[in-house]
Amino acid sequence: MTKSVILSALAVISLALSYLYEVSPTQQGTPVAGATATAPVTPYAINSPEDMVRAMEWSAPAADTAAPEPVLKEYYVRKLGLRFKDPNYKQLVETASAWIGTPYQYGRNSRKGTDCSGFVTRVFHDVYGVNLSRSSGSMFQDVRRVNKGKMRTGDLVFFRRSAKGPIYHVGIYLKNNKFIHSATNGGVRVSSLKEPYYSKNFYAAGRVI
């Protein structure tokens, strides 16, 4: 009798254990009707093969395939003694450098002789087809003023001798404080805004729109 009771008890325990551990994958993977998934499937859940694929894709997102920005190759303009990277400036700086050595001649704008505004107007016309005003003072009205610390290649630099004096000189900014212009004491040449004379008389920078 006792043996029968023991065997019956073991059978009941065995049946209970099999009920607790026999979990159907299909039942776990089936969503409740009307329920909406609120979180991504993780690789640690027991899911159908399709869900496992989704889990792997979620846990290892595709790498960013955006193309890197192109590396601009420097080019050196020997007459200017400067290196540039932006190809948009190449025609400008090469055209301007071809004028180096042209003598100063008031009221002219040719390779035989030119004044400061004549040089600037010719370069911008030849490179961009832009017609700037002929005098340095009126040319200042053709540009949008920019901060000295934000100047870039191709901006114009203007000079005047006093706070209330008129603009009397203009040049084309290159880089590293260098600008190219037609000076009365040497014709077309490259100078630095750090030179005492130009540093003292610098008035403003402007960008041709």
Per-residue confidence (pLDDT) for residue 159, from 0 to 100: 98
Q: Which two tokens stand for residue 97?
A: 């450098």
Of 171, 181, 187, 193, the active-site residue reads 181
Q: Is 169 a catalytic residue?
A: yes
pLDDT of residue 114: 98
Is residue 122 domain-resident? yes
Reading the block at residue 191, the tokens are 């100078």
CA atoms of 114 and 206, how far apart (whole Å) = 21
Q: Which residue has the tokens 């290649």?
A: 153
Helices (H) and strands (E) in the chain, counts: 7, 10
Q: Which domain holds residue 123?
A: 88-208
Tokens coding 183: 């000076």
Look at residue 47 and tell me if it is in a domain.
Answer: no
Q: What is the pLDDT of residue 47?
A: 45
pLDDT, position 41: 44
Per-residue confidence (pLDDT) for residue 127, from 0 to 100: 97
* Catalytic position from the list 41, 80, 96, 116: 116
- Per-block mean pLDDT, blocks of 10 residues, the chain (209 long): 60 56 47 49 45 49 60 90 94 97 97 98 97 96 96 98 96 98 97 98 96
List 80, 99, 156, 169, catalytic entry? 169
List phi, psi (to 5°) of 77.
-105, 105
CA distance 1 to 5: 6
Residues 6+ apart with CB under 8 A from 23: none
Identify the pLDDT of residue 115.
98
Residues in the chain: 209
- Evaluate whether residue 150 is within a structural domain: yes
Domains contained in the chain, number: 1
CATH of the domain at 139: 3.90.1720.10
**Bridge partners for 75 per DSSP:** 84
Quick check: is 94 in a domain? yes
125 annotated active-site: no
